[in-house]
Structure 1
Amino acid sequence: MPDCDYCGDHFADEEAYLDHLADAHEGELGAIDRRRVDDRVGSGEADGVPTGPLVLGGVLLFAVAVVAYVLLGTGGGSGGAAVNGIAVAQTPGAVTGSAHGHGFANVTIAGERVDFSRPEYQRPREFAAFHFEGGDGRVWHKHADGVTLEYAMATLDIGVTADSVTFQGTTYSDSDPGTNVSVTVDGESVDPASYELSGASDENPSAGDRIRIVVQTEA
């Protein structure tokens, strides 16, 4: 029956004594007692189940979850991110001089066309991969591969899916009564999360993708 050298309490066995040291005298232990307590805690025997393997298993499961998220949860490509607070499934690759394309864009919300010539939409330094510039609100520029329609619109603070548009804090859904949402490129419906924009030379931007997003609502 060991006695505690720190407080004089009595204990039925060595294991109970070491548990007491760990709980009551953590900051007082000498080197020898510290090693004995560490050995006891490190053995991890609680109700006959070793905790060491459980901890290792938890670490391994966490690592697998992280890898699965990176490989599967981001939608591939360069991985997902938030742009202007809008979640996008794929971000473009590195901005390079070899990728330089142009096209036209028309986004009309409840009868009002969004004016991309306004300063808040002219942000080429902040969003080099996709932007409007030079005060031109019709021709878009892209300087990277893998620019999806979803990402492009997010740089303009517009959230878009195949059947919904979020603009200035309001989400318009095709399923809402009296609301019609159309998201097309060159007249064809597309999935903004996966559709990658194709651009043309600056001498002939009309040959690039024509983005048209229209939200119609009943008055």
Structure 2
Amino acid sequence: MPECNYCDASFEAEGDYLEHLHADHDESELSRIDRRRVADHVGAEEDGEFPTGPVILGGVVLLTVVVLAYVMFFVNDGGGASGPAAASGDVGDVEKTPYGVGSVHEHGTIAVTIDGQQLDFSQQQYQLAADPFHFENGNGQQWHKHAQDVTLEYAMSTLGIGVTDDSVTFDGTTYEAGQDNVTVTVNGNDVDPSSYVLQEGDSIRIVAEQSS
């Protein structure tokens, strides 16, 4: 069930949520991704009643966003993750990359602890780092998913974290199960990060700590 990122409202359907954003929130309040999703929805729903000027302007803006997204995902990093992961260069390539950005809107929670310190995803470098998976509005506990096939491996790579079923890599250090304390779970269950696709309400927990 979509929940509004800007107020306490919740909705049964994605279309109702986008109508709410369009009618009840000023465009300046919305994130870049939400503005694009609302523009796409309104342009499809209003069936010719929408003034042609805004439609043309929206098309130009959308085209610009698409071109920038293409450059970000396929030119700068060869189709891998954007954001902190691409900059760090130490988490490796992911096996599966998302598609259909803007086609879904799901949320969940996350807690990542490295050597006893919980990472703060409310920091600016983690906000809106990648279109398919990111954090918004300074909230570092709720993740947002806006694409199909967002695996746990891909999601973590956008944060500069490499995960496998038995290791975690962060800031140039790899923690290996068997010799370090390593936990990678979703909803309390062990998963294969390279194939597990995140779903609405998933709770991610990652712990990596070197054995003393």
Which TM class, normalised by the smaller chain length?
0.5 to 0.7
CA distance in 1, matches of 2:115, 2:94: 24
1:186: Cα distance to partner? 0.1
Length, aligned pairs only: 127
Runs of 4 or more above 2 Å deviation: 80-83, 216-219
Structure 2 partner of 1:185: 186
Structure 1 partner of 2:136: 133
Kept in 2: contact 1:107–1:214 (CA 8 A): yes
2:171 to 168, 172, 175: 168
1:90 maps to 2:96: yes
Name the SS for the 2:185 alignment partner.
strand
2:203 to 192, 202, 210: 210
1:193: Cα distance to partner? 0.2
In the alignment, structure 1 segments of 5+ residues that lack a partner are 1-79, 200-207
1:101 maps to 2:106: yes
In the alignment, structure 2 segments of 5+ residues that lack a partner are 1-77
The equivalences for 1:21-100 within 5 A come to 81-83=79-81, 84=86, 85=89, 86-96=92-102, 98-100=103-105
Structure 1 partner of 2:120: 115
1:216: Cα distance to partner? 2.7
Cα deviations by residue, 1:84-120 (Å, 9 ceiling, x for unpaired): 1331000011202x40000000000111101101111
1:175: Cα distance to partner? 3.1
TM-score (norm 1): 0.55
CA distance in 2, matches of 1:103, 1:169: 27
CA distance in 2, matches of 1:113, 1:119: 16
CA distance in 2, matches of 1:187, 1:104: 12
1:121: Cα distance to partner? 0.9
Cα deviations by residue, 1:144-182 (Å, 9 ceiling, x for unpaired): 110000000000011111111111111111133xx1111
Root mean square deviation of aligned Cα: 1.5
CA distance in 2, matches of 1:164, 1:148: 16
Name the SS for the 2:174 alignment partner.
strand
Residue 80 of structure 2 aligns to which amino acid in structure 1? Answer: A
Kept in 1: contact 2:164–2:193 (CA 8 A): yes
1:198 maps to 2:199: yes
Kept in 2: contact 1:81–1:89 (CA 8 A): no
1:149 to 141, 147, 152: 152
Structure 2 partner of 1:10: none
1:81: Cα distance to partner? 4.4
CA distance in 2, matches of 1:147, 1:217: 29
Residue 197 of structure 1 aligns to which amino acid in structure 2? Answer: L
CA distance in 2, matches of 1:129, 1:82: 12
Kept in 2: contact 1:81–1:88 (CA 8 A): no
TM-score (norm 2): 0.57
